[in-house]
Amino acid sequence: MSITDFHVHSRLDPGPCEAPEEMIRLAKKCGIDRICLLGDVLYFGDDPSEEQVRSINDQTLELVEKRPDVFLGFCFLNPKLPENFLRAEAERCLGHQSFKGIKLEIAVNAADPGVDKVMRIAGDMDAIVVQHSWNTEIINNRRRQSDPEDVALLARRFPRVRIVMAHITAASQRGVLAIAPCENVWADVSGAQPVAGTVEYAVEKLGSERILFGSDAPGRDFSAQLGKIYGAQIPERVREMIFKDNAQKLLESS
């Protein structure tokens, strides 16, 4: 099996299992041979400065250049920073052929109008936007955290920008229903522990083409996250699509 992991973080200060070569070894042991690197996005906290954003992206650039056979890069941005900085930083990263998109975390809620400037940049550069989402019924901080409903609002404002909503398992069925009508939103299954029925429900409501495998390693274990897909009651062909084909199609078009 050849698997693409759409959601992996590098570490600026890696522990023994988090060093890039060790992560690649562990991933390959599980059949993962393509990894989207989103950067160490929380290393400097929720609201990083220009300099901090640059150093997170410097590491992603370095790793992508070192192992272009495995890594693809995403440029991390903080929407609270000025538009001229954001555009210059996006151009610096996305000028590299192994960079495919932009990663947004928890500086602001996805529905905040401040995110619009990042979406305009993504639209201009034909970049995929990976937007963190969780479940504010469990995390009481909607000012910074995004629910799937917030991602849906963003997607409706920018229907031509392709958005990958991270962590569909966090809000589970509610999250699936929120993004179902938005054809420009894909869901990655990374993060949280496997919950029976979530992937099946996503396939039923989103169709088999808008779901991507992601682990959120090294914060999560490759094998436990793979279990979500191997353990799901779905046709073998759909499993292959989630593991590889859907990601390949999306990445090739940017």
Residue number with CB closer to Zn ion (149 or 188)? 188
Q: Does 105 bind Zn ion (CB under 5 A)?
A: no
Tokens, residue 39:
């950067």
Residue number with CB closer to Zn ion (105 or 208)? 105
Q: What are the beta bridge partners of residue 36?
A: 72
Question: Residues binding Zn ion: what is the number (CB under 5 A)?
Answer: 1
Min. distance of Cβ 163 from Zn ion in angstroms? 15
Give the strand order in the sheet containing 163-165: 3-8, 32-37, 71-76, 99-104, 128-131, 163-165, 185-188, 211-212
Residue number with CB closer to Zn ion (208 or 225)? 225
Q: Whose structure tokens read 């890696």?
A: 14
Write out the binding residues for Zn ion, residues 19-78 only, by CB under 5 A. none
Min. distance of Cβ 84 from Zn ion in angstroms? 27
Residue nearest to Zn ion (CB): 216
Min. distance of Cβ 106 from Zn ion in angstroms? 10
Q: In this structure, are strands 3-8 and 99-104 parallel, antiparallel, or unpaired?
A: unpaired
- 30 near 60, Cβ under 8 Å? no
Residue number with CB closer to Zn ion (149 or 216)? 216
Alpha-carbon gap, residue 42 to 118, rounded angstroms: 19
Min. distance of Cβ 235 from Zn ion in angstroms? 28
Write out the binding residues for Zn ion, residues 206-235 only, by CB under 5 A. 216
Residue number with CB closer to Zn ion (37 or 182)? 37
Min. distance of Cβ 201 from Zn ion in angstroms? 22
Give which of 45, 33, 155 is closest to 105, Cα–Cα: 45
Alpha-carbon gap, residue 179 to 8, rounded angstroms: 22
- The site for Zn ion (CB under 5 A) is made up of 216
